[in-house]
Structure 1
Amino acid sequence: MVTLIHTLADHGDDVNCCAFSSSLLATCSLDKTIRLYSLNDFNELPYSPLKVHTYAVHCCCFSPSGHILASCSTDGTTVLWNTQTGHILAVLNQPNGSPVRICKFSPDSMYLVSGAADGSVVSWNMQTYKLFRCGSVKDGSLVACAFCPNGSHFVTGSSCGDLTVWDDKMRCLHSEKAHDLGITCCDFSSQPISDDDYGPQFFRMASCGQDCQIKLWVTTLSDLSGFELKYKCTLSGHSAPVLSCAFSYDGQILVSGSVDKSVIVYEPNTGSILHTLTQHTRYVTTCAFAPNILLLATGSMDKTVNIWQFELKAHCQVSQADKPEHEPKQFIETWSEEEVSSWLCAQGLEDLVSIFKMNNIDGKELLNLTKESLTDDLKIESLGLRSKVLRKIEELKVKVKSLSSGIPDEFLCPITRELMKEPVIASGPAQQLKSYSSLNAEF
């Protein structure tokens, strides 16, 4: 289930782009401004709106840390902002002054890529704020860009419909026609494909265009096979050009926005449509997911940004559909944040998933949680919830201990988890009761 929880209506013209950090939402518009909001209450920050561009702002994006915001404009500049103060850090001038349509940070925050209407693509060094490398596509304006999550390459899309793949040295690896009438957006899933057909170095990518279609691709870059871009399937849920697409942080959901005024929510593994959202009254120009919680923002030519919340319980069921087993791994400290989230859902603690995600709780951090950290750091106010979390963690430790020992569970004391000595089984009318005595220290 998807619920509209807030609408922002502060821009005076079309909303062109929206982007999340872990604590902020940024939006930009044809009205030449960028606005920032707190995710705690969706109140606009004191220093917002940001006003320096002299023409429409086409795109905005946060650095992975969230400390820097980039915005680019028809005025031919990409501006870097300090998200703590709203102060300008640098103004990057596109070569030849061409209107800048797109900007994206690399996953390691070392570089920012900007693409312009003349087909130029520039990589900027984020330590010096100087031009690092530049290139260009043969035809059309650059209107889309996305980095592979492992940082090995990035993809640009042009108004002529070409997808072009570049490595981190700005060398062109591949180019092909993807959408007949022009590309509008592309995005990578942050989660590698790890099924039987593909190894962990393969990533899913989505592209959309003026042909009313969304296409799914699989990309990889390796020393042995070089670069590969494989077309997988087409999603045709929209009846008009598709202007934006985005994956959720866990790769389990794909959304798209269209000229038909709708937002469609897909399950990318099957291509099935989960929801169709029709609250916007004009073209949906942009959509973006938060980096660690199931929060979606959609922007439109109706001058508004809608904020949507996905029901965590339903999402947990979807994300675990391919993972029916919830038996713990013996090495909990190696669990990823996503594995911790799956474990929470399996324990009936799905309401805590967003809190754990926001605080980057992986397996190692899970084992170190205490009553104090749950109260003071994670701000879990409910005494019952805190007690349940701690109890479930202790049960998890005990179960893993028994698994690692190789001793069948029925041979262990259900209370102390020590090996039982001379267990006695008594039969009763309702059930069998086990009496036991634990091993002494000399065993």
Structure 2
Amino acid sequence: MCRRQNCRKRAVLEHPNRGGIRVCKFSPNSLFLVSGSDDETLCVWDVLSWRLLRNLKGHEAFVVTCAFSPDSQWMASGSNSGEIHIWDMSLNFGNCLVKEEVHDLGVAACDFSILYGYDGEPYENGKYLMATCGQDNLVKLWNVLCNGVLSITFTNRYVLSGHTAPVLSCCFSPHGKLLASGSFDKTVRLWNPLNGTAVKIFEGHTRYVTCCAFSHDAVFLASGSNDKTVKIWQIENDSQSEEAGVSSTSESFNQCPVTSTPSSTSSAPMQSISSSMPHWQKPINRWTVDEVCCWLGHIGYSNYEDNFRQNVIDGSELLSLTQESLEKSLRIMAYGIRNKIIRARDFLMEDATPGISSQADFDYTPDEYLCPISREIMQDPVIAADGYTYERAAIESWIKTAPDTESNCQNADTTSYHKLKTLESCLKRNRTANVMRKHIVKIWNSFI
């Protein structure tokens, strides 16, 4: 935690089980900070003293999202198992009143609205509207009705379909009359949550959308993507009224000429690589060193261009690169980066017309399928003593370079069956499953 005025570190908070932190949120009244972890728990911290108030248990998978009701009386949390829990944050502090499975294969995000009813009245008397999204390609809206302090009625209001891939983020506009969602299908969709209708589809990202957020006045919507850009979309042009953001579905929704790429000054979607880089139409073995470096920068490793230039790596040499030559000749020491370059080169070789399609198989790869060490799709996944899943070759290589940790991996404990079942289901549904083995090793006790 840091002070806003001088950005000095104020506190360091850690879960009792020292699990990785997936999400953290302040309550609207600024009294609480909640953090969700890989250890399947949430911690509630007092903002004034940074003291741990309560460790909330009940989830059976990683906690990946949480949200407070507008009055800070309730807190919702979601996990990879697909469950939403709603916790009392007032009179019966830390009491869980709702445990509901809402999305197959996992919840990705959730949010509360400041409005409730079909006519858009403000929340009151324990009536709330909540949105969730998940790995089943759906956005769902829920009525949350509090019956005193002992029970909550949690019912589905709308199921919003339209995305063609897992939905990673959703958020309400500050005035509550719009709902945005971002997905692996590379689109951001705008919905009217009061009647459950689609309003607009924003297209322009070339990789999957990871997050979205409204400006405080709801005039702009920002979306972040794995294509390394943030795009700003204008909701309202000529009116600041809330109604304009809901009723207009045409000219009022234009992409602003702003992205995180400094050279980008156009609102048009990014052109395909094959059209913007004509040399990609040439056979790879005819590429010059400059063209190889251009390709290297496109896949995100421009910092190694000097290494390639010094070793005169042209198209022919690119085709002959191996893990060993990348490490010893080009001094690329990270196993994951070497593997990424080799795989990107192989995709080029497989595609008769190299271009953006050569990386399409990366677009729908959830983070859970990637080895934490190599950051590549796991071919032979194993679960180590720390509870994380790794590519066998990568973790074995890492262990060999850190022998002091080997003894710690000799006594591994079995990971919960629920996690494995969730991962297996994800693999079967995901389009990248054909490159992964069906067998998941539950445990290993030693390294060969």
Corresponding residue for 1:230? Answer: 155
Out of 137, 161, 164, the position equivalent to 1:239 is 164
Inter-CA distance 135–261: structure 2 relative to 1 (3 Å threshold) = same
Alignment of 1:55-74 (within 5 A): none
2:114 alignment partner, SS class: strand
> Would the aligned equivalents of 2:119 and 2:194 in 1 still touch at CA under 8 Å?
no
Cα RMSD after superposing both structures:
2.4
1:100 and 2:21 aligned: yes
* Larger relative contact order, structure 1 or 2 (CA cutoff 8 Å, min sep 6): 1
Q: TM-score, normalised by structure 2?
A: 0.51
Alignment of 1:71-82 (within 5 A): 80-82=1-3
Distance 2:246 2:110 in 1: 26
Distance 1:321 1:139 in 2: 38
Distance 1:263 1:196 in 2: 23
Shift of 1:233: 1.3
1:191 and 2:118 aligned: no
Distance 1:178 1:247 in 2: 18
Inter-CA distance 288–211: structure 2 relative to 1 (3 Å threshold) = same
Distance 1:197 1:191 in 2: 6
1:175 and 2:96 aligned: no
Corresponding residue for 1:334? Answer: none
1:159 and 2:75 aligned: no
Corresponding residue for 1:86? Answer: 7
Amino acid corresponding to residue 218 of structure 1 in structure 2: N
Any unmatched runs of 5+ in structure 2?
248-448
Amino acid corresponding to residue 82 of structure 2 in structure 1: G
Amino acid corresponding to residue 92 of structure 1 in structure 2: L
> Would the aligned equivalents of 1:248 and 1:294 in 2 still touch at CA under 8 Å?
no
Corresponding residue for 2:207? Answer: 282
1:113 and 2:34 aligned: yes
Alignment of 1:222-371 (within 5 A): 222-223=147-148, 226-311=151-236, 313=238, 316=241, 318=243
Q: TM-score, normalised by structure 1?
A: 0.52
Amino acid corresponding to residue 123 of structure 1 in structure 2: V
1:89 alignment partner, SS class: coil
Shift of 1:138: 3.6
Any idea what the Cα deviations from partners look like across 1:98-119, whole Å, max 9, x if unmatched? 0100101111100000000121
Alignment of 1:406-417 (within 5 A): none
Distance 1:292 1:320 in 2: 11
Any idea what the Cα deviations from partners look like across 1:36-61, whole Å, max 9, x if unmatched? xxxxxxxxxxxxxxxxxxxxxxxxxx
**More helix per residue: 1 or 2?**
2
Distance 2:71 2:138 in 1: 27
> Would the aligned equivalents of 1:252 and 1:319 in 2 still touch at CA under 8 Å?
no
> Would the aligned equivalents of 2:175 and 2:218 in 1 still touch at CA under 8 Å?
no
Inter-CA distance 321–89: structure 2 relative to 1 (3 Å threshold) = closer
1:93 alignment partner, SS class: coil
Inter-CA distance 296–223: structure 2 relative to 1 (3 Å threshold) = same
Inter-CA distance 104–321: structure 2 relative to 1 (3 Å threshold) = closer
Distance 1:185 1:126 in 2: 24
> Would the aligned equivalents of 1:255 and 1:287 in 2 still touch at CA under 8 Å?
yes
> Would the aligned equivalents of 2:22 and 2:38 in 1 still touch at CA under 8 Å?
yes
**Count of residue pairs the alignment pairs up:** 243
Out of 146, 159, 165, the position equivalent to 1:221 is 146
Deviation >4 Å, runs of 4+: 194-199, 312-315, 319-322
Amino acid corresponding to residue 4 of structure 2 in structure 1: T
> Would the aligned equivalents of 1:289 and 1:296 in 2 still touch at CA under 8 Å?
yes
Distance 1:172 1:312 in 2: 43
1:95 alignment partner, SS class: coil
Corresponding residue for 1:377? Answer: none
Corresponding residue for 2:415? Answer: none
Corresponding residue for 1:396? Answer: none
Corresponding residue for 1:126? Answer: 47
Distance 1:199 1:255 in 2: 20
Shift of 1:137: 2.4
Distance 1:276 1:196 in 2: 23
**More strand per residue: 1 or 2?**
1
More displaced 10-residue stretch of structure 1: 212-221 or 263-272: 263-272
Corresponding residue for 2:129? Answer: 204
1:318 alignment partner, SS class: helix
Any idea what the Cα deviations from partners look like across 1:358-394, whole Å, max 9, x if unmatched? xxxxxxxxxxxxxxxxxxxxxxxxxxxxxxxxxxxxx
Sequence identity (%): 39
Any unmatched runs of 5+ in structure 1?
1-79, 323-443
Distance 1:198 1:230 in 2: 19
Shift of 1:225: 7.6
Amino acid corresponding to residue 117 of structure 2 in structure 1: I
Shift of 1:148: 0.6
